[in-house]
Amino acid sequence: MSETSFTPRVFSGIQPTGNLHLGNYLGALKRFVDWQAMDAETIYCMVDLHAITVWQNPTDLQKSTRELCAGFIAAGLDPEKSILINQSQVPEHAQLAWVFNCVARMGWMQRMTQFKDKAGKNAQNASLGLFAYPALMAADILVYHATHVPVGEDQKQHLELARDIATKFNHDYGVDFFPITEPVIEGAGTRVMSLRDGTKKMSKSDVSDASRINLTDDADTIAKKIRKAKTDPDALPSEVEGLSDRAEAKNLVNIYAGLNNQSVEDVLVDVGGKQFSEFKPMLVELAVSKMSPITTEMARLMEHQDEIDKILARGAERARAITAPILRQTYDIIGMVPPAPF
């Protein structure tokens, strides 16, 4: 983890679209919990406004948002220690995003690879929100003056854009107001790949459910998916270099390292020379022991949706104590007349 000489304010978010998977867990959620354990000020968000950049069924969106909150808590986030929020309940995110839409340049947005991937061949038919997505993401972070943002590798370009927006805003208005945020992309789990194809990212949108492990999968399903995971015929190497052109082997070792809080080097010391027939059962046991308690706790929490809603309402109140003054200061800087007292 990066060394800092001040108390960091950590912000990150996850979209409430469909199931959380092992990539979200290792690349983000588990690391959110690590930051919480370091007594950093931590704010974690269910980004429902980002979710609607592509069409969402309203009933499913509500369910997924609550389920994501349950997943946050089941994985170890404590709503007393971390501020847990639903993006649409903290209106300053969207308000600052508008300001950033006016700071960011069209050319910057056009370079975003995730927009190109998500919009596909028919970019003219994509929503304007999908195009402006990274400006809202920058607002999420900067409306808290957050300093550190733990994410998986796929968010790197968006975080660079958040830095560009902060730099341009500060420059255009001659201020030193928004911090230049530090992306935190560290550890073995920041790029978990598909179990069916080690060159493709594990993702919610993959048509094959066998390509990912969902946080809602039971022990049998996890075991089946790992047993079926694509591999090659060779034994595991004892050195990291031996994984360089073996995408699937590398992925499974990375997953093992991420789940077991180990470096890939240390894992290979233990498993180097083993065949997959021996390694896969070890991975099954580890994955089930780490994931099953989360799955069970998530299901239990989902039976108390009123509690989840209260946690989100309380989170929004705590968040707004931070975001409202920062938005007001932003408006002052750019010349918006403040509302006069009656």
Catalytic residues: 118, 201, 204
- What number of other Cβ atoms are within 10 A of residue 119's Cβ? 17
Judged by CB under 6 A, does residue 201 bind ligand TYM?
yes
Q: Which of 202, 252, 271, 319 binds ligand TYM (CB under 6 A)?
A: 202
From the list 197-205, 221-229, 259-267, 280-288, the region that binds ligand TYM by CB under 6 A is 197-205
Nearest CA to 170 among 150, 145, 149, 151? 145
- Cα dihedral 37→43→48→49 (10° resolution): -150
From the list 2-10, 24-32, 115-123, 244-252, the region that binds ligand TYM by CB under 6 A is 24-32
- What number of other Cβ atoms are within 10 A of residue 228's Cβ? 12
Strands 41-46 and 148-150: unpaired
Q: Which of 8, 9, 10, 24 binds ligand TYM (CB under 6 A)?
A: 24
Q: Map tokens 């809603």 to a residue.
A: 309
Judged by CB under 6 A, does residue 28 bind ligand TYM?
yes
Residue with Cβ nearer ligand TYM (200 or 274)? 200
Site string for ligand TYM, 95-134 (x = CB under 6 A): ----------------------------------------
Task: Considering only residues 209 through 268, tell me which ones interact with ligand TYM, judged by CB under 6 A.
Answer: none
- Beta carbon of residue 300, minimum distance to ligand TYM (angstroms, whole number): 23
Judged by CB under 6 A, does residue 65 bind ligand TYM?
no
CA 266 centroid distance within chain: 26
Angle separating helix axes 92-101 and 128-142, nearest 10 degrees: 110
- Beta carbon of residue 340, minimum distance to ligand TYM (angstroms, whole number): 34
Q: Are 131 and 200 in contact (CB under 8 A)?
A: no
Please give the Cα distance from 197 to 263 (Å, whole number). 23
Q: Are 214 and 195 in contact (CB under 8 A)?
A: no
- Beta carbon of residue 297, minimum distance to ligand TYM (angstroms, whole number): 20
Q: Map tokens 């009123």 to a residue.
A: 306
Judged by CB under 6 A, does residue 141 bind ligand TYM?
yes
Q: Which of 65, 86, 147, 190 binds ligand TYM (CB under 6 A)?
A: 190
DSSP 8-state code for residue 87: G
- Beta carbon of residue 152, minimum distance to ligand TYM (angstroms, whole number): 2
Q: Letter for the amino acid at 307? A: E
Please give the Cα distance from 214 to 230 (Å, whole number). 17
Provide the β-strand partners of residue 42: 10
How many angstroms separate the Cα of 67 from the Cα of each of 20, 80, 123, 207, 317?
9, 19, 31, 21, 21
Task: Considering only residues 152 through 181, tell me which ones interact with ligand TYM, judged by CB under 6 A.
Answer: 152, 154-155, 158
Judged by CB under 6 A, does residue 151 bind ligand TYM?
yes
From the list 137-145, 231-239, 280-288, 296-304, the region that binds ligand TYM by CB under 6 A is 137-145
Tokens of 186: 């560290």
Judged by CB under 6 A, does residue 69 bind ligand TYM?
no
Residue with Cβ nearer ligand TYM (54 or 277)? 54
- Beta carbon of residue 132, minimum distance to ligand TYM (angstroms, whole number): 12
Please give the Cα distance from 15 to 212 (Å, whole number). 17
Query: Element (H or E) spanning 183, and its range?
Result: strand 182-184
Residue with Cβ nearer ligand TYM (2 or 275)? 2
Task: Considering only residues 319 through 338, tell me which ones interact with ligand TYM, judged by CB under 6 A.
Answer: none
Judged by CB under 6 A, does residue 27 bind ligand TYM?
yes
Judged by CB under 6 A, does residue 12 bind ligand TYM?
yes
Interacting residues with ligand TYM (CB under 6 A): 11-15, 23-24, 26-28, 47, 50, 137, 140-141, 149, 151-152, 154-155, 158, 189-192, 201-203
